[in-house]
Structure 1
Amino acid sequence: MDQVRYIRSLFAREDEVLRSIEGGLAERKMPQISVPPETGKTLYLLAKICSARRILEIGALGGYSTIWLARALPPGGRLISLELKEEHASFARENANRAGVGKQVEFRVGDATELLAALENEGASFDFVFIDADKERYVDYLERSIRLARTGAVICADNALRGGRVCDESDRRPSTEAIRRFNEALSRDPRLESMLVPVGDGLAVARVR
């Protein structure tokens, strides 16, 4: 048994709803890019540890990470998930309902930059933010997340290692370069205390000062 399977068998067991999402994505010809179970469990724990009552998710896809995060909410807690495509949001909403967390989750459909600006105009604030959308705009999403975050809030971002490609200086693909810029911005921003955790495809974790 390899390390990942060992960790999943002990610490990141999936229930029937979570296990079904991968197959549901395949049936609908949607991307198979949900976070792995160990990343989902880590997000759940981080949200629990910081006692998050208001969570923002940027990128829902089939709702896999949405469910992990929503299950960390206390009674009366709320999660807002931003998703570009209605068909993804519809499937994510279906899965959130099946998981028993649908009443705590609000899906907003549209361009994330516009939706984040609208949240800022509403005066919204969050205890926890998870970024997992188009990589080329990660730096912008980070800045907007900081503005929406309360002091002490946690901001996380998936794919911070890009399968190890961020370490390969010859890899100049736009998505890889974008994640490099994001990681550098995260590490240097004086408003944050940050770390890159090698779980899944790399989970960037920051606390807002």
Structure 2
Amino acid sequence: MTYIRSRLGPRDETLDRVLRDALIREGMPAIQVDDNGARMLQIITRMYRPRLVVEVGTLFGYSAIHIARGLPPEGRLITIESDVRAARMARRYLDEAGVGEKVEVVHDDASDYLATLPRESVDMIFIDADKKSYPQYLKACFPVLRSGGVLIADDVAPGGDFSGEATPGADPDREAAAIDAYVRAAGRSNRLFSAFIGTGHGLLVSFKDWGIRHDSPE
């Protein structure tokens, strides 16, 4: 990542200020998407031009800022966060970054909220939340993602360290097993065409209905 930063340049002043404030002043955990992954999200969003993006796991809004920056003029982002303090913080940072009008921050359980969305109503989904729930998120996201939509999951790098996101006393292998289950399910689905992007934490990008439509990934 040092090499990438040295060649592509540092993050801009707004992003740097948000990151320093969240991690140092507010004491938030440093589990946000890595800088290269965040840039990749912005590029995919800019290229794909989705009208509606749903993000599962806001934290303090670092990835949401990048996604919002890539949206077309008519595009909007709904980002879901279960922690009320993090949701409020994200709302403030999104406004400070000048993209607040494009983003709705929802304080709710992600699976519960996804169940309220119409089928095939979302163009792009980004998952970066509770790792042990990744298989559950896949099942919840699949019906609301439209045919031709893009599903992206962060932290899928083999052998990833999820200790910073695990609850105290949790089985350290549980998160890794859940991530593996997610990747396997996406890989064997005949309705998802997937590829791994080697960012710092690893992104799995899946395109829905690349080929023939058959069964869902369950």
- Is this a same-fold pair by TM over 0.5? yes
Counterpart code for 2:181: R
Q: What does residue 34 of structure 1 align with?
A: 32
Equivalent AA in structure 1 for residue 201 of structure 2: D
Residue 19 of structure 1 is matched in structure 2 by 16
Q: 1:196 deviation in Å? A: 1.7
Kindly state the Cα deviation for residue 179 of structure 1 after the two structures are TM-superposed.
0.6
Q: Deviations over 1:118-175 (max 9, x none)?
A: 224xx57111110000011111111222211112111100000165469xxxx97110
* Equivalent runs, 1:43-54 vs 2, <5 Å: 43-54=41-52
Cα pair 1:63 1:92 within 8 Å, conserved = yes
1:1-209 paired onto structure 2 within 5 Å = 4-11=1-8, 13-26=10-23, 27-120=25-118, 125-161=121-157, 163-164=159-160, 173-209=173-209
* 2: CA distance, partners of 1:144 / 1:50: 22
Q: Deviations over 1:7-59 (max 9, x none)?
A: 23444642222112332223222211111110001011111221212111000
Structure 1: gaps of 5 or more residues: none
Question: 1:52 and 1:11, CA in 2 relative to 1: closer, same or farther beyond 3 A?
Answer: farther
Give the Cα separation in 1 of the matches to 2:26 and 2:120.
Answer: 33
Contact 1:70/1:101, CA 8 A, preserved across alignment:
yes
Asked if 1 retains the 8 angstrom alpha-carbon contact of 2:154 and 2:204, the reply is yes
Q: Give the CA RMSD over aligned residues.
A: 2.0
Segments ≥4 residues shifted beyond 6 Å: none
The CA distance in 2 between the partners of 1:32 and 1:165, in whole Å, is 12
Amino acid at match of 1:79: L
- 1:124–1:96 CA distance, 2 compared to 1 (3 A): farther
Tell me the percent identity: 37
TM-score under structure 1 length normalisation: 0.89
How far did residue 105 of structure 1 move?
A: 0.1
Distance of aligned partners of 1:139 and 1:72 in 2 relative to their CA distance in 1, 3 Å threshold:
same
Deviations 1:184-208 (A, max 9, x none): 1111111100012211211011001
* Structure 1 residues 153 and 11: CA distance shift in structure 2, 3 A: farther
